[in-house]
Amino acid sequence: MKKVLILAALFFAVSVSSFAQNVIKSNVPVGADPAALPIEFLFADALVMPNGDVHIGVALKATAKNIGTLPYLPGVTPLQVKLYIKKGNGWVEVESKSVNVLAPGVETSMNYYTSYIKGKQKPPTFRLVVESKNAGVVNPDVNMSNNKKDAQAQ
């Protein structure tokens, strides 16, 4: 029981630091700029199994935001925001969201949960990707360099 309480306190301390407001600004004075914000890890559970294995829960919030001054209008196909988890040497999509219009300052978020066995498995690594277009749409994505964020659970 002490192990569970210690692990819960540790995860609470780590997750509190991830709640700090992540502010990201566009380097483009005028235009649409959908961006992937840093992935936030939320408080999750830890469970000590009878055999001594510690199952660590990983909960996260993945957010994309239009940090530009104009609405992002994707044209014929909606803006895709996708969350991937690293498996071996590749990435596997685990969650996605379609957005028809992303107004300035507006966010779209996804939540995801998984777990791993501490000491036997590596903490999972995630990638958030905003699949926008920088040409051929009414208000293109003027800054493609901020459309991807990677993060590993601790």
Alpha helices (H) in the chain, listed in sequence order: 2-18
Q: Which residues does 140 contact at the CB level (< 8 Å), separation at least 6?
A: 31, 32, 132, 133, 134
pLDDT value, residue 1? 45
CB atoms within 10 A of CB 75: 12
The 10s digit of each residue's pLDDT in 43-102 is: 899 999 999 999 999 999 999 999 999 999 988 889 999 999 999 999 999 999 999 999
The 10s digit of each residue's pLDDT in 132-147 is: 998 888 889 989 999 9
- What is the pTM (predicted TM-score) of this model? 0.81
CATH class for domain 2-152? mainly beta
User: What average pLDDT does the segment 114-130 reach?
Assistant: 96
